Structure 1
C-alpha cells in the first residue's frame, strides 16, 4: 500500500529500542523495533492497519504532512 504518511524513528535509551511515531495519526500512535529495519517494518504494518481500519469504518484518512506544509492534528 502506497501512503505518504510521516514515520519518525528515534532511538530510546530508556526503552533500549527504536521508537516509531506516526504523527498524522495522533500523539499516542507508536510502535517500536529492536533494529531500525524492524521499526520501519512495524511502522509500515501499523500504517496499513490504520488505513484499512479507517476505510472499513468509513472514517476520513488524515491529511499527510508534506515538506513545507505544517501538520494539522485534529
Structure 2
C-alpha cells in the first residue's frame, strides 16, 4: 500500500518518450498516468510541452525508425 503523502514517481525523459508513443497509440491520459503511477497532470505537462521538451520529436523519430 502507498504511504500517505508520499509523492508519485518522477517521469524521466525516457518515460516522456514512452508517454508520447502511448498517446499516439490511442491511450487515454488517465491510463498512461496509471501505467506510470503518476498524477494525470504530469502526463498533461509532457503532452503540452511543459516538461521534457523535445521528447515528442524523439518519440516521432523512434516511431519512424520502427515502421
State the TM-score, normalizing by the size of structure 2: 0.28
User: Which structure dedicates a bigger proportion of its chain to strand?
Assistant: 1
Considering Cα pairs closer than 8 Å and 6+ residues apart, tell me whether 1 or 2 has the greater RCO: 2
State the TM-score, normalizing by the size of structure 1: 0.27
